[in-house]
C-alpha cells in the first residue's frame, strides 16, 4: 500500500474525493441488453487554485496519478478477479451531482467475466459492493463529496 487507510481518508477529505459506480450494459445477439461489468469513476476537486495553463495541467496530472494509486490500494492487482480497463478520457469533468464544479476524474471499466459478454452474476455484484465499502472506508464519498 502506498498510504494507510487513515492517510487516504485524510487525503480524500482534503481533495473532496467521491466515486460513482454504474453498470456497463451491452447489446448481445437478438438485441438483448445484458450487464457485462461495472464502470467505476473516482473524482477529486480540480486544482483551480493553480494558475491556468501548464501549472494547472501539471496539478491535474498529479491528482490523476494519485487516483490511480488510490485504486491500486483499494484493489491491488494481485487480488483482482476482474479484467480492468482504464478509460483514457478527459481528465477534468463537470457533473451535475457536484453542481458542475470542475473535478479530476478517473474511470475504470471492470469486466468480471474477463472480457466476455457474459452477464454479471450476483457474486460479481457482491465483489463490487466490497470495493465500494473499501472506498468508503478510505474516506471516499459515494456520489458527491
Nearest-angstrom CA–CA distance, 41 and 87: 9
The model's pTM: 0.88
CA distances from 105 to 31, 79, 122 (A): 31, 23, 28
Q: Kindly write down the DSSP assignment for every residue of 72-113, as one continuous string.
A: HHHS-GGG--SEEEE----SEE--GGGTT--EEEEEEEEETT
Give the pLDDT confidence score for residue 21 in this predicted structure.
95
Q: List, for the chain, all residue ranges whose pLDDT scores fall below the cut of 50.
A: none
Give the pLDDT confidence score for residue 90 in this predicted structure.
63
Residue 18 host element (H or E):
strand 18-27
Amino acid at each position: 500500500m502506498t498510504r494507510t487507510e487513515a492517510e487516504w481518508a485524510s487525503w480524500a477529505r482534503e481533495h473532496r474525493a467521491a466515486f460513482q459506480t454504474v453498470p456497463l450494459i451491452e447489446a448481445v445477439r437478438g438485441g438483448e441488453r445484458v450487464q457485462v461489468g461495472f464502470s467505476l469513476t473516482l473524482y477529486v476537486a480540480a486544482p483551480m487554485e493553480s494558475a491556468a495553463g501548464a501549472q494547472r495541467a501539471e496539478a491535474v496530472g498529479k491528482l490523476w496519478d494519485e487516483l490511480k494509486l488510490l485504486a491500486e490500494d483499494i484493489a491491488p492487482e494481485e487480488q483482482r478477479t476482474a479484467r480492468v480497463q482504464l478509460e483514457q478520457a478527459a481528465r477534468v469533468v463537470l457533473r451535475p451531482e457536484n453542481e458542475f464544479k470542475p473535478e479530476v476524474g478517473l474511470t475504470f471499466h471492470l469486466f468480471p467475466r474477463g472480457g466476455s459478454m457474459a452477464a454479471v452474476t450476483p457474486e460479481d455484484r457482491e465483489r463490487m459492493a466490497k470495493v465500494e465499502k473499501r472506498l468508503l472506508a478510505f474516506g471516499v464519498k459515494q456520489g458527491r463529496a
